[in-house]
Structure 1
Amino acid sequence: MKIFISLCLVISLAYTVSYDEWAKKQNKKYDTYKANQDRAFANGLKKSWKEYKLKQNQTRYKKTKPNKLPSKNKETKKRAADIKNSKTIKIKPIKKRKIKDLLKKDIKLLNKDMLVGISFFGTISQVAYNKKFDFFINDISKNTIAKFWFDFSKKDYKPLIRQFEFHFSNMQLNDWAKYQFVYKMGMKFYSNKNKANLFTWFVLTKLGLDTKIGYNTQQVYLLSGISHKLYQVSYFYINDKRYYVLDPTGRAKNLSNIRTYKTSYSKKLQELSFKIEKPLKFENKILAKKYSFRYYKKTHNVEATLNKNLIDFYHSYPQSDYKVYFDTKVSSLTKDKLLESLRKIIDGKKEVEAVNILLRFVQNSFEYKTDQNHFKYEKVLFPEETLYYRYSDCEDRTILFSYLVKNLLNIDVIGLKYKDHIASAVALSSRIKGDGYKVNGKIYYVADPTFTNANIGETMTKYKNKIPQAIY
């Protein structure tokens, strides 16, 4: 029996040693593969550079949005038949969810490490930085950029990358926030825009994101493939693929051309996406907002809680496809308070009337002003931004209204885009008398959050005979 046990132990130990040796060999093979890949990429960077002319999408509209839109002095008389045929809605109370605190990470400082911290939209974040990551670059050329990549890739950068991944996960950062975070940390490390862009390029590429570096005279720029359109941001094409010039402000630089390379570090690199599929988690800087609106002579009050740090983050956002705004995840802080406040008003109402109440809230709680008059440039607002600012225009209200309908009533909503205007359309569960469009087999009734005092089914006169583009 003892002999049998001893024999098993010997076999087990032999197997363990064998596995450990195999694992070491595999890791060594992988390290060799990565080193060869970095060397080949650095060599490629010395060769295949080309100058590209830059373009820019300025606006989504064929015509300038009107400075003033028509409104109805009086609310349309309620149609008894529409209300009678509409189902009664029942919404469960929206419980305030406990938001998990951001994790605090104990950072072990190794030999010659120093702790470097930044305030990232109100959230203090620290990483261990080593002087070995310092680098010198004076003249900007394809050779100096290639040398940067080759030299940096030989350093032990993996622990630094893992620290970034922790912060990304902790704050639930999307790709735009990841770029901002790495760039801001790079500026803290090097106090130099060219160095910060080179560092950001290296880190994001190693994280598997499709970024390139380019330069114009002696200024370095970060370039990226994006999975959707951006507006007011310079771009160019490589092999029919669009690359944008990224900047922390979210706006385009006044560039006419840029030099960059065609080669790719890896075919597996992923395009960036600026969609917000998880609510971002920043430290809270609380703002309490109150709104008041009237619906058929009755005044209603609504409350919302906002995080000013999140509003500041949105202000830096590149102007993106409408889908980015329509599908964004609102923070629990704002969602819980706002939806519960509105739920108390519409719970037990007929579906048609509930939609009209939400329309009236958006129509009458904010003043109308175009982006050009408000921000001096076209800027689509996220729902929380519309709740924050005094002024908003048609697209901002449409995005907020759509969010409310989907999250309170669980009804399908689409956007209706005209040459100089955008409205909503709602797929009610019953037929009503009013303007509507059939899309994918469903009837969607016009619901315009900018047409003050209008109900569902009512279209502004100037758009009555216009066929809009459906956004869904």
Structure 2
Amino acid sequence: MKKSIIFLFISVFFFVSGLNAQVDDDFEKFKKEYEQGINQLKQEYKKFVEQADKEFADFLKKDWEEFQLFKEMKPAKTPGPEKLPVFDKITNVIPTKQIAIKKIEGINQTENFEMKPRMPIPVEVSKEDKLKHRFITFNFYGSVVQIVMPPEMCEDFNLSVSEKNIANYWEKMINQEYNELISQILKLKSDFNLNDWGLLELTKSFTQSVSTNKNTQRLLQWFVLTKLSYKTKVGYKDNDIY
């Protein structure tokens, strides 16, 4: 009887162990298939973005449509009165009474408050990224903000303004690691609870801190807003970009 109980216990032990091993194998198989599916989706999305960026760069190289910046506004031709009305002075008007204002005596007390500058919003960056990235620090409505970006994206646009050179600028930017930059700006938008206008001002302050070159500022802001899914347009006249 005792031997039978021991044999039964050993059988149950090996059965449970085998069942656990099978469950672990099934889980690892599912986990592997899931990760492969996620990686495949990421690769497909990456190819889609790269193809869209390439098509947009090709579009920029084509002849641009001329745009009239200031169109003359013609006055309306609706008929008006033949004789302009003349103002008649109002008579027999009872003068208004001035109401005496009672002054409320309050406590005249002032306190001195010390205004301390806000600390910069921290950005988590690894030691390796510190060596290959540039830190952009600027003031945004009283808060010190710091953004990390590749140094290649900070280079000035010193070329002559043309469709081809603007398209080349776009191609240069899409070949950089710009996703982290966009993620930081989106996080700042959430931290500051900004609407679209606030985000526009944030990107403007950011680009002005990157470069003092006006064309560089506008091209960089155009690129960032486009990658933030805003329908932005860029134009130029002579050697100035708008």
Normalised TM-score (structure 1): 0.37
Q: Which residue, out of 87, 108, 121, partners 2:141?
A: 121
Q: Does residue 1:20 correspond to 2:35, yes or no?
A: yes
User: Structure 1 residue 146: deviation in Å?
Assistant: 0.8
- Quick one: which amino acid aligns to residue 74 of structure 1? K
- Preserved CA contact (<8 Å) 2:120 2:143: no
Q: Does residue 1:2 correspond to 2:17, yes or no?
A: yes
Percentage of matched positions with identical amino acids: 25
Question: In the aligned structure 2, how far is the partner of 1:141 from the partner of 1:162?
Answer: 30
Report the structure, 1 or 2, having the larger strand content. 1
SS at match of 2:235: strand
- Preserved CA contact (<8 Å) 2:225 2:232: yes
Match of 1:36 in 2: 51
Deviations 1:151-204 (A, max 9, x none): 111111010111111111111222222112112211211221101100101111
Match of 1:108 in 2: 125
Match of 2:66 in 1: 51
Deviations 1:419-439 (A, max 9, x none): xxxxxxxxxxxxxxxxxxxxx
Deviations 1:352-408 (A, max 9, x none): xxxxxxxxxxxxxxxxxxxxxxxxxxxxxxxxxxxxxxxxxxxxxxxxxxxxxxxxx
- Preserved CA contact (<8 Å) 2:150 2:177: no
- Quick one: which amino acid aligns to residue 134 of structure 1? C
User: Structure 1 residue 108: deviation in Å?
Assistant: 1.4
Instruction: Trace 1:186-205 onto structure 2 (pairs within 5 A).
Output: 186-205=207-226
SS at match of 1:105: coil
| Change in 2 beyond 3 A, CA 1:3/1:35 | same
- Preserved CA contact (<8 Å) 1:187 1:196: yes
SS at match of 2:125: coil
User: Structure 1 residue 74: deviation in Å?
Assistant: 3.4
Match of 1:176 in 2: 197
Normalised TM-score (structure 2): 0.69
Question: In the aligned structure 2, how far is the partner of 1:194 from the partner of 1:173?
Answer: 26
- Quick one: which amino acid aligns to residue 27 of structure 1? K
Instruction: Trace 1:38-437 onto structure 2 (pairs within 5 A).
Output: 38-55=53-70, 73-74=96-97, 104-109=121-126, 110=129, 111-135=131-155, 136-221=157-242
Task: Flag the structure with larger Rg.
Answer: 2
- Quick one: which amino acid aligns to residue 229 of structure 2? G
Question: In the aligned structure 1, how far is the partner of 2:137 from the partner of 2:55?
Answer: 34
SS at match of 1:50: coil
- Preserved CA contact (<8 Å) 2:149 2:180: no
User: Structure 1 residue 116: deviation in Å?
Assistant: 1.6
- Quick one: which amino acid aligns to residue 213 of structure 2? N
- Quick one: which amino acid aligns to residue 24 of structure 1? N
- Preserved CA contact (<8 Å) 1:49 1:142: yes
Unaligned runs of 5+ in 2: 1-15, 74-94, 100-117
SS at match of 2:159: coil
Question: In the aligned structure 2, how far is the partner of 1:120 from the partner of 1:206?
Answer: 21
Question: In the aligned structure 2, how far is the partner of 1:31 from the partner of 1:154?
Answer: 12
User: Structure 1 residue 114: deviation in Å?
Assistant: 3.1
Question: In the aligned structure 2, how far is the partner of 1:174 from the partner of 1:22?
Answer: 35
Question: In the aligned structure 2, how far is the partner of 1:150 from the partner of 1:51?
Answer: 23
- Quick one: which amino acid aligns to residue 69 of structure 2? L
Question: In the aligned structure 1, how far is the partner of 2:52 from the partner of 2:120?
Answer: 35
Question: In the aligned structure 2, how far is the partner of 1:103 from the partner of 1:132?
Answer: 24
Give the number of aligned pairs: 184
Match of 1:404 in 2: none
| Change in 2 beyond 3 A, CA 1:152/1:218 | same
Q: CA RMSD in A?
A: 2.4
User: Structure 1 residue 48: deviation in Å?
Assistant: 4.4
Report the structure, 1 or 2, having the larger helix content. 2
Deviations 1:42-85 (A, max 9, x none): 00111141111124799xxxxxxxxxxxxx84379xxxxxxxxx
Question: In the aligned structure 2, how far is the partner of 1:220 from the partner of 1:175?
Answer: 22
- Preserved CA contact (<8 Å) 2:64 2:163: yes
Deviations 1:128-161 (A, max 9, x none): 1321213444110000111111111111101011
- Quick one: which amino acid aligns to residue 104 of structure 1? I
- Preserved CA contact (<8 Å) 1:113 1:129: yes
Deviations 1:225-280 (A, max 9, x none): xxxxxxxxxxxxxxxxxxxxxxxxxxxxxxxxxxxxxxxxxxxxxxxxxxxxxxxx
Question: In the aligned structure 2, how far is the partner of 1:161 from the partner of 1:56?
Answer: 36
Question: In the aligned structure 1, how far is the partner of 2:98 from the partner of 2:240?
Answer: 57
